[in-house]
Amino acid sequence: MVGIEITEKNDTVLALVLRDIPLEFANAIRRAALEEVLTMAIDYVVFYDNTTALSDEIIAHRIAMVPLRSDLAIDKYRRPEECRGSNPPEGCYVSLYLEAETGPQEELVIYSKDLKPQEDPEVVPVYGDIPLIKLGPQQRVVLEAWARLGRGREHIKWSPATVSVLTYIPNVRVITERCNLCRLCVERCPTKAISVVNDRIVVDSTKCNLCRQCVSVCEPEAIELDWEKDRYRLLIESSGSLKPERIFLEAVLQIKTKLLEFQRSFKEVFSGVGGGS
């Protein structure tokens, strides 16, 4: 039966064990989390003044890498498909403003929290303490940054997940009758998953990374190693723009939307063949 079990969960990391979900589908969720889920990121930066040591391009790039809160924005703003062209409609962009100036003896670090939202107070940097620019004496920077929804496949700055991996769950069996307790496997194991307890080899399979070095070093061939056939572990680490559980849900929704789109175009083709309209 299809099931999901949470093995680790905090503000940025979500680890799940997916049961009876085909590998291909679990992998589709993993990929959708990286490149299909919508988030807000800064896409245009207009410089009104910049006399700092950092060039406009460096500053624009640094600002774009800052994750913006997207949990409310993804339902509020238009999708990137609707915002193309030189004249994007209303509801595509939201702007943030930055202005800073230093006196003759002054030095100043500009942080991400200094990016002030103009229209929407909900679209703000997730982490306020990222140093963006450092101003020397008598320097000035004034800029307006325009953020919009986008997908990770267009640019990684829109990707809500920094890590999204699908792994096998190891299944290590020690055949005690064959084991001669030479402990070579204990020494060899790079993740220290194998130990000896009461003259028996005990394996902590949560530490195992399936490197098979214990199998190759075991003279009497007492270790059998494979992985569970119906369970996979999915790990999502969020960049902060969305909560990891939201990333998972949105990834599934994006796959569903694509499938419905596919179904619609499929039906269109076949109604065209049959009806001729």
Partner 1 sequence: MIIPVRCFTCGKVIGHLWEEFTRRVASGENPGKVLDELGVRRYCCRRMFISHVDLINEVIVYGRKV
Residues near partner 1 (CB under 8 A): 50-54, 62, 65-67, 107, 112, 126-139, 156, 159, 162-163, 237, 239-240
Whichever of 52 and 254 has its CB closer to partner 1, that residue is: 52
Q: CB of 39 within 8 A of CB of 160?
A: yes
Closest approach of Cβ 158 to partner 1, in Å? Answer: 11
Residue whose CB is less far from partner 1, 95 or 159: 159
Tokens for 104, please give them: 């003759």
CB of 132 to partner 1, least distance (A): 8
> Closer to partner 1 at the Cβ: 138 or 263?
138
Instruction: Name residues whose C-beta falls within 8 Å of residue 67's C-beta, 6 or more positions apart in sequence.
Output: 39, 41, 125, 126, 127, 239, 240, 241
In whole angstroms, the minimum distance from the beta carbon of 129 to partner 1 comes to: 4
Beta carbon of residue 48, minimum distance to partner 1 (angstroms, whole number): 13
Return d(Cα 167, Cα 63) in angstroms, integer: 33
Amino acid at 127: Y
Task: Please identify, using beta-carbon distances, which residue of 135 and 242 lies nearer to partner 1.
Answer: 135
Q: How far is CA 29 from CA 67, 73, 80, 102, in A?
A: 21, 22, 21, 48
